[in-house]
Amino acid sequence: MLDKTQVEQVVNDFLDPSTDMKLGETKPAIKSEQDGDKHIVKIVLGYPVKGYVEQLQTELAAALTKAGAENVAVTIETKVTKHKVQQGVPALENVKNIIAVASGKGGVGKSTTSVNLALALAAEGARVGILDADIYGPSQPRMLGTTKRPESEDGKSIEPIESYGVQSMSIGFLIDEEEPMIWRGPMVTQALQQMLGDTNWKELDYLVIDLPPGTGDIQLTLSQKVPVSGAVIVTTPQDISLLDARKAFKMFEKVNVPVLGVIENMSTHICSQCGHEEHIFGSGGGARMAEQYDLNMLGSLPLDIKIREDADSGQPSVVTNPDGDIAMAYRQIARRVSARLAMQGKDYSGAFPNIVIKND
């Protein structure tokens, strides 16, 4: 028979095989109670686990039984909370957490990774949105397979476009696909702020922001005026790509936005004809960067023609083949991203009233 403290110890020490983290690191809420002859353990995690919740419950029950619990039943729920953002930046009303996806360099598959990350988080049970912050080269409308125009029900805010269960907004929904955006920096940053603040996001757990390449106006606006909970860096193993990925990391470091980890895209290519594996862009670059800056290696994705074909067709890999190897890789990355975000401090700003001092 285990007491409450012993149960909490077993649960906190349990290694989540999908995130490679101990559950205690993500600060779960644990409740232990006796119901007749049955020992019920209720756990509330701060990150979504819909894809493997039954497996996790079974393995936790086995760990508790091994530790001495009798007739134990484990139930797991998810409650995503709002986490800390940059000091002095007000949070969005209907968005709990914003995750910025950056690369510092174009052509590394950042937008494809962003949309599949958003879809993977949704597949794990979260309420998710994606904001296409690449004003000059919006690609999310094509990848999400929709050409709808946003509508406004109140004449003040615009409704997000929903596709595959994910809410989205992009300048690409407001202009023709081939129309160039010939705008200067101030207009671009104003457009970003309007799309973010004037979109009627509906109770999101996570809003993924697909950033444009570089460390310019958009990124500066993001760091100064957008409440970002955490950032993800996308790179390829290639040295040239890693140079710019390091710049993106340094940018987030300077503005006090925590970097949740590194995703290595196009890490290896396997020939569809003969099965030969080749590291076209080098090997181990993402892991070396993660080690150099003490970052988490969130996962690696292959250079696979299916990823490109799925994105171009408007049916990203996570929805085209949800049980396939590629979708599973994205879903594991999504779990690791959300679990590491759950480690961050919570945002308690909404718990305190605004104090106004008046001189009578």
Annotated binding site for ATP: 104-111
Q: How far apart are CA 330 and CA 57, in angstroms?
A: 22
Provide the token pair at 81.
């909370």
Q: Comparing C-alpha atoms, which of 117, 196, 222 is closest to residue 164? A: 117
Q: Report the candidate in 305, 301, 318 with the shortest Cα–Cα distance to residue 144.
A: 318
Q: 3-class DSSP state for residue 161?
A: strand
The structure tokens 């106004």 sit at 356
3-class SS at 151? coil
Take residue 63 and report the two structure tokens written for it: 């760990």
Phi then psi for 223, rounded to 5 degrees?
Answer: -75, -25
> What's the rounded Cα separation, in Å, for the pair 231 and 227?
11
17: phi then psi, degrees, rounded to nearest 5: -65, -20
Radius of gyration of the chain (CA): 22
| Number of residues that this document lists for the chain | 360
